[in-house]
Each structure stands twice: as structure tokens, then as C-alpha cells.
Amino acid sequence: MPGFPDVRPRRLRSSAAMRRLVAETTLEPRQLILPMFIREDAREPIAIKSMPGVYQHTRDTARKAVAEAAQLGLGGVMLFGVPTSKDETGSGGVDPDGILNVAIRDAVSEVGDSLLVMSDLCLDEFTSHGHCGVLDSAGRVDNDATLKLYGEMGVVQAEAGAHAVGTSGCMDGQVGAVRTALDMSGHPDTVILAYAVKFASAFYGPFREAVDSALQGDRKTYQQDNANAREAIREVDLDLAEGADIVMVKPALAYLDIIRQVRDHVNVPVAAYNISGEYAMVEAAAANGWIDRDAAILETLTSIRRAGADIILTYWAAEAVRILDRR
């Protein structure tokens, strides 16, 4: 018939201006959180070989990176400490003068309330065995003994000035333990970003280099089985019942379906962590000339937003803003 086809979706793809006008998913600086590693004994930034472009910061370079994150309009930073010494109980995590808590104070003194300063609340960076909690006499992670330490960590981090704490250890009841400790110590306004859905994953490898992890074995007895979607929703419900303010899915790319299910299930903000292995794959492919790096970064982050994440933790946070500014 004359004029066939009558419906021509290509009209809405005809120019960059048109595509911007009708875009269904946006990627904005405020939606991005930059994870950062601060090493206690570093005199200069130390490159993380498996994560090109990412470093273990000194206290001074961390302050500069936090200031830059605020200038770029990022949503926040997530701080991880890399201590010089570790022990069986991860005592550095509850030490007010431990590297993570010092880094929190540095960041808050640099940017105040103009940028959200978030802190990782887990023991794995501080334990000599590399697990996320203390071990019992049989060498298993002791859930309830670990909860007590998580509560102490939450209070110390809040007192250092953290606006939000990220409960990432995958202990049953961790959100409730931290919420109770925060409220009882006079920190009812400290936000809990709950790693509600954190799967045991092959993509964590580069992160373990980033925090000098001493882990032997795996964390499959407390991180979630990557075959299970219904269990993920159950974990979300438990964390919300215990007082979580934001729920997160980690990793992101292999779990876009889970992000969508969580987004459809809850009425609180949903975050996703674009983790180290996901970052490393793109960087390696780009370094070999196999893909367009800038385009791959934006496509990756947009896919996570499209799946339903309101917030993305990504090592590309600052880089993504610069790429967006160039377009």
C-alpha cells in the first residue's frame, strides 16, 4: 500500500538531539557513587594491577579525590580502608584511629555535607583470615559474634562522620544489629545502605587485590547462591524489616534480572554495585583495542540504570561524568 510502512520508529532516532529528547533512561552524576581505597602506609598512590586506573590512595590523594567527586556532582563516595596489620578479630575496623575511620574524618572535613561520605561496614579488610566475620573454634564464621562487632563498627564510623554505612558482610541480622547500635548511641539519622543481595561471585577477584585480602577458600556459606532469585527477594525483605534505608544488589551485570525484580518489589531506593571484575573486563578489552572504551562504559552503566537501579557504585563514576561532558 502507498506509504507502507505507516509506523516508522526510526523517526525518533534520526539525530542525537532527537535521541536525547526521547531517551527513557538517564545517566546523571548524582546517581553515581565512587568506591575508593585508602591505604594506611601509602606515601604515594599504589596502582591496582588488575584494575587499570584505580589506586590505593594515600590520605592526601584520597582527600583530593573526594573534593573532585564533589566538584563533579557525584552522589557520593564509598570508602574502604587498607590497614598495615590485620588480626583474627579485625580489630582495626573498630579502632577510631584505624585507617578507615581516619579516612572518613578526612573526607567529611574536606567536603562536609556537600557530598555523601559512605563507608564499608565489614571486617574482611581487617581480618588476617580474610573472612567477613570472626571465626569460631571450628574455623567457621560466627554469625552472632560478628554482629556485635558490626554494631561497634557502625557506631565508630558514624562518630567519624559517615553519612551512610554499607553493611556488606552478609551476616543474618546485620542490618538490625547496626540499626540498633546506631540508634542507641545517638545516631538515628545515619543511613544504612544494605548489601541486601550480595552473591558469591567469580567477579570479585580484582577487589581482593585492591584490599590486600588474605582470604583462603570462599564465602559461599554466607554470600548468596547465584542460582537463587527468590532467596534474593527474601533477603531484601529481611533487611527492610530490620531498618535498611537503601537496598543494593551486588554484582550488577550478571544480575540485571535481580535488580529489576528488586526494583519492582520495593518502594525504597535501589542501588547496584558495578564491581571490580566487571570493570576489569571492559578495561582489558579496551586496552586490546577490541571495544570502544567510552561507549562501553556508558552502555554498561546505562544497562544497570535501565534494569532499575537508582544508584550505581562504580569505579568509573568520575570518568563517566567526564565522558558525558564530552558528548
Q: Which residues contact 168 (CB under 8 A, 6 or more apart)?
A: 120, 121, 122, 132, 195, 198, 250
Cross-strand pairs, 319: none
- Which stretch of DSSP H or E encloses residue 245? none
Q: Which of 86, 148, 198, 220 is catalytic?
A: 198
Give residue-wise pLDDT tens across range 258-308.
999 999 999 999 999 999 999 999 999 999 999 999 999 999 999 999 999
Q: Which residue has the cell 560478628?
A: 146
Q: Which residues contact 198 (CB under 8 A, 6 or more apart)?
A: 168, 170, 223, 224, 248, 249, 250
Give residue-wise pLDDT tens across range 204-230.
888 888 887 777 777 888 899 999 999
| Model confidence, pTM | 0.95
193 secondary structure, DSSP code: E
pLDDT at position 1 is: 60
The CATH label, of 3.40.50.2000, 3.30.70.20, 3.20.20.70, 3.30.565.10, for the domain at 27-326 is 3.20.20.70
Range 229-236 average pLDDT: 97
Residue 198 a catalytic site member: yes
What mean pLDDT value characterizes the chain?
Answer: 95
CB-facing half-sphere around the CA of 296: CA atoms within 13 A? 16
Domains of the chain: which residue ranges? Answer: 27-326
Q: Which of 49, 148, 220, 250 is catalytic?
A: 250
Cross-strand pairs, 312: 32, 272
Separation CA 270–CA 250 (nearest Å): 11
Give residue-wise pLDDT tens across range 98-138.
999 999 999 999 999 999 999 999 999 999 998 888 999 99
CB-facing half-sphere around the CA of 185: CA atoms within 13 A? 17
Separation CA 270–CA 285 (nearest Å): 29
- Determine whether 169 is exposed, middle or buried from the number of CB atoms within 10 Å of its CB (0-12, 13-18, 19+): buried
Separation CA 327–CA 210 (nearest Å): 31
First to last CA, the chain: 41
Range 142-163 average pLDDT: 97
Range 68-92 average pLDDT: 96
224 secondary structure, DSSP code: B
